A = this chain, B = another copy of it.
Amino acid sequence: MYFVTAMVSSLVLSMPFFHQPGVKLSFIDTLFTAVSALSVTGLTVVNTAETFNQYGVLVLTIIIQIGGIGLMTLGTFIYVVIGRNIGLSARRLMMIDQNRHQLSGLVRILQFVFICTLLIESVGAVLLTLRLYFAGYVDSFKHAFYYGTFHSISAFTNAGFDIFGNSLYNFQHDYFIQTVIIILLVLGAIGFPVLIETWEYVKRRDRKFRFSLFTKITTTTFIILLLIGTLGVFLLENNNFLADKSWHEKLSYSFFNSVTARNGGFSTMDIAQFTAPTQFLLSTMMVIGASPSSVGGGIRTTTFAIVLLTILAYAKGNTEVRAFHRRIHQDDVMKSFVVFSSAMLLVVSSVICLDAFEAQRHSLNSVIFEVSSAFGTTGLSMGITSNLGTDSKILLIILMFIGRIGLLSVLLFFRREKKAKIRYPEERVIIG
A419 to B195, CA, bound (A): 38
Contacts of A111 in B (CB 8 A): none
A213 in contact (CB, < 8 A): yes
A428 to B321, CA, bound (A): 12
A219 in contact (CB, < 8 A): no
- Contact A360/B275 with A315-B414, A341-B307 known, Cβ cut-off 8 Å: yes
Further contacts, 9 of them, CB under 8 A, given A302-B431, A318-B420: A276-B355, A277-B356, A311-B341, A315-B415, A317-B417, A317-B419, A322-B424, A337-B337, A344-B344
Contacts of A425 in B (CB 8 A): 326-327
Tell whether, in the assembled complex, residue B432 and residue A407 are in contact, meaning their CB atoms are under 8 Å apart: yes
Q: Can you report 17 residue pairs joining A to B where beta carbons are below 8 Å apart? A: A84-B427, A213-B429, A214-B430, A232-B352, A276-B355, A277-B351, A277-B355, A281-B352, A306-B429, A314-B335, A315-B412, A318-B420, A319-B419, A326-B424, A332-B431, A337-B340, A364-B365
| Partner of A341 from B335, B341, B355 at Cβ < 8 Å | B341
A201 in contact (CB, < 8 A): no
- Contact A327/B427 with A311-B338, A342-B311 known, Cβ cut-off 8 Å: yes
Tell whether, in the assembled complex, residue B416 and residue A317 are in contact, meaning their CB atoms are under 8 Å apart: yes
Tell whether, in the assembled complex, residue A429 and residue B214 are in contact, meaning their CB atoms are under 8 Å apart: yes
- Contact A432/B414 with A355-B276, A425-B327 known, Cβ cut-off 8 Å: no
In the A-B complex, the 3 residue pairs with the smallest Cβ-Cβ separation, listed nearest first, are A337-B337, A277-B355, A408-B432
Query: What residue of chain B has the Cβ atom nearest to residue A319's Cβ?
Result: B420
* Stretch of A30-38, A173-181, A292-300, A392-400 contacting B (4+ beta carbons < 8 Å): A292-300
Min CB gap A425→B, angstroms: 6
Tell whether, in the assembled complex, residue A332 and residue B428 are in contact, meaning their CB atoms are under 8 Å apart: yes
A77 to B348, CA, bound (A): 35
A432 to B275, CA, bound (A): 30
Tell whether, in the assembled complex, residue B428 and residue A82 are in contact, meaning their CB atoms are under 8 Å apart: yes
Tell whether, in the assembled complex, residue B364 and residue A329 are in contact, meaning their CB atoms are under 8 Å apart: no
Contacts of A340 in B (CB 8 A): 337, 341, 344
A429 to B315, CA, bound (A): 22
Q: Mark A363-381, 1 if CB is under 8 A from B, else 0.
A: 1110110000000000000
Contacts of A236 in B (CB 8 A): 352, 356
A178 to B392, CA, bound (A): 37
- Contact A430/B337 with A352-B281, A363-B364, A424-B320 known, Cβ cut-off 8 Å: no
A146 in contact (CB, < 8 A): no
A212 to B426, CA, bound (A): 12
Contacts of A428 in B (CB 8 A): 82, 213-214, 329, 331-332
Tell whether, in the assembled complex, residue B420 and residue A432 are in contact, meaning their CB atoms are under 8 Å apart: no
A334 in contact (CB, < 8 A): yes
Tell whether, in the assembled complex, residue A427 and residue B326 are in contact, meaning their CB atoms are under 8 Å apart: yes
Contacts of A325 in B (CB 8 A): 424
Contacts of A207 in B (CB 8 A): none
Tell whether, in the assembled complex, residue A213 and residue B427 are in contact, meaning their CB atoms are under 8 Å apart: yes
A224 in contact (CB, < 8 A): no
